Amino acid sequence: MLQAIDRQTLLTVARERITSELNRTEPDYPPRRPELEIPGGAFVTLHLVTGEGRRLRGCIGLIESTRPIYDTVRDAAHSAAFRDPRFKPLSAEELGSVELEISVLSRLETITDTRLIVPGTHGIMLEQGPRSGLLLPQVAGERGWDRATFLEQTCLKAGLPTGAWSNPDTVIRIFTADVFDESSLRM
């Protein structure tokens, strides 16, 4: 679990990376803290917050990385804003309505007993042949999914039938995440 100062630093890095790209200016990143030089995986999620509610606007990251978490978050923020194939690139007009969320991932653990999965606590990475899908821990919690639904939805994300998780050729990995967003840290 990251300290509040490290969470704030990562959120600032992510927002500065996106803002500098939109404004075509040099980024003004906060100082690098030793705690953020540790390699690790992370995802950056963008939520567009409007009068109609909050909706996904982009989400990209790395499951595992040999690069410092500071760099992983910086690059994932850029990709989530401008390279998520599900969305058009973020516009300058949208920037003020976007809230950033960061998920710093634990190491993946391969499991054979799906009863170990705790929806809302664990994320799932599922692989079968060339297909793979990943859902972050907060997805199941936000949607109120039970374990079976979470597994089925991860299969669908991988482009597999909903029951593919029970196939012995399917590899299931779980992980946890330190999840925080701008509203929780009162930026």
The answer to whether position 187 is within a domain reads: no
The pTM (predicted TM-score) of the whole model is 0.91
Q: What is the mean pLDDT of the chain?
A: 95
Does residue 184 belong to any structural domain of this protein? no
Average pLDDT, integer, range 64-74: 95
Q: Which of 59, 159, 128 is nearest to 99 (CA)?
A: 59
How many structural domains comprise the chain? 2
Question: Do 72 and 126 fall within a single domain?
Answer: no
**Range from 31-40, 114-123, 156-165, 178-187 carrying the lowest mean pLDDT:** 178-187
Mean pLDDT for the stretch of residues 50-77: 94
Last residue of a domain, one of 58, 82, 105: 105
E strands, the chain, in order:
42-50, 53-62, 98-105, 109-111, 123-128, 131-135, 171-175, 177-181
Please state, in angstroms and rounded to a whole number, the distance separating the CA atoms of residues 139 and 79: 20
8 A C-beta contact, residue 161 and residue 155 = yes
Look at residue 185 and tell me if it is in a domain.
Answer: no
Q: Which residues contact 102 (CB under 8 A, 6 or more apart)?
A: 7, 10, 11, 14, 42, 43, 44, 45, 73, 179, 180, 181
Say whether both 124 and 160 belong to one domain: yes
Quick: pLDDT tens for 106-129: 999 999 999 999 999 999 999 999
> And the tokens for 145?
């999914």
Judgement on whether residues 89 and 157 belong to the same structural domain of the protein? no
Q: What is the CATH number of the domain that holds 38?
A: 3.30.700.20
Domain that holds residue 75: 4-105
Answer whether residue 185 shows pLDDT above 80.
no
Residues 81 and 15 in one domain: yes
Q: Who contacts 67 (Cβ-Cβ below 8 Å, separation ≥6)? A: 39
**Separation CA 54–CA 12 (nearest Å):** 21
Are residues 119 and 98 located together in one domain of the fold?
no
Residues 26-60 pLDDT 10s: 999 999 999 999 999 999 999 999 888 899 999 99
